[in-house]
A = this chain, B = another copy of it.
C-alpha cells in the first residue's frame, strides 16, 4: 500500500462523512454555521480522524466497525478545528494564515470566530452522543465521550494551550516542554486512536497497546511540527513559519538542537511500531501512518 493513495482515500472518506454530518448553513444561524464550515472544510490533513479509523481498522476489519468509528472521527476533527480557530485568535497566536487560507477571525471577525470555535467544540459532543450512530452501544459511547472530553479539556489540549501561552518567552526545561506538548497535541492524538479502538470493540489489552502507539506517535508528531516550523517555507506549510522562534516558544529543536530532535522523533516511531507487535496486517495502515508522521513536509 502506498501512503499517498491510502491518505487520499481516507481523507476522502472523512470529507464525505463530515459533509454528511455537519450542520448546513441554512436557517437563522446560517452565518454562524458558515463560519464553522469555513474552517472545517479548509483542506485539513484529517490526521486525527484517519488515525481514529486506522485504529478501528486495526482491531476489526468489519464494515460495522468503520461505520461506528466514522462519526467519532468527525467529532475529533471538529475539536481539532475549533482548537485551531481559537489558537489563531489575535489574543492567542495572532495568525492570519492557516492551511494557506485566511484564518477564521480575519474573515468573520473575532467574535464570530470565538463562537465558531465554541460551536464546533459543542457539536463534537452532539455527534458523539447522536442516536443515529446506532452501531455503538451506549456504554462504549459514554466511554468515548469521557476519553475525548478529558483529552480535549483543561488537563489536556486546552490546558496545554494555556501553559504554552504562559511560558511564551520564558525559560523552561524539558519537563515543561513535555507537559505542554503531551497535553496540547499528544492527548487528542492518543484519544483519537483510543476512541477508534473502542468504537471497534477493542479489548483492554488492545486498547493499552494502541494508547501506547498513540503516545509515541503524538510525541513524534510534535517534534516534527517544531522542526517544520523552523525549516519550512510558507508555501510548503500553508501558515506562517519561524513563529516559534519569534515568539520564543519552547520547542524541541530549541532545547535539543535539530539533529537530536530528529533522532528523538525516529526513536518515538520505533517505539510506536513496537507497540503494534501483537497486531496483524490490519494494523499496517497504523504502521504506515507512523512513518508518514516523521517524513511529512507539512
Q: Tell me the A residues contacting B by CB distance below 8 Å.
A: 23, 27-29, 31-33, 35-36, 86, 89, 91-92, 109-112, 114-115, 117-119, 121-123, 125-126, 128-131, 137-139, 141-143, 145-146, 148-150, 152-155, 158-159, 161-163, 165-166, 176, 179, 183
Query: CB within 8 A of A149: which of B32, B125, B138?
Result: B125
Q: List 13 A-B contacts (CB under 8 A).
A: A28-B159, A29-B163, A29-B183, A36-B154, A86-B118, A92-B111, A119-B153, A122-B149, A122-B158, A126-B153, A137-B138, A138-B141, A141-B142
A126, closest chain B residue (CB)? B149
Main secondary structure of the interface of A (DSSP, over half): helix
| Cα separation A176 to B29 with both chains bound (whole Å) | 11
Q: A27-B155, A28-B179 are in contact. List 19 more A-B contacts (CB 8 A).
A: A23-B154, A28-B176, A28-B183, A29-B154, A29-B159, A29-B183, A32-B158, A89-B114, A91-B114, A111-B165, A112-B162, A118-B118, A119-B154, A119-B158, A122-B153, A122-B158, A123-B149, A123-B153, A129-B146
A182, closest chain B residue (CB)? B28
> Taking each of A109, A159, A165, which has the highest tally of chain B beta carbons within 10 Å of its own beta carbon?
A159
A83, closest chain B residue (CB)? B118
> Taking each of A117, A142, A165, which has the highest tally of chain B beta carbons within 10 Å of its own beta carbon?
A142
Cβ-defined contact, A154 with B32, below 8 A: yes
> Taking each of A31, A114, A138, A145, which has the highest tally of chain B beta carbons within 10 Å of its own beta carbon?
A114
Residues in B neighbouring A143, C-beta threshold 8 A: 129
| Cα separation A28 to B125 with both chains bound (whole Å) | 26
> Taking each of A36, A89, A149, which has the highest tally of chain B beta carbons within 10 Å of its own beta carbon?
A149
| Cα separation A118 to B152 with both chains bound (whole Å) | 9
Query: CB within 8 A of A166: which of B31, B138, B142?
Result: B31
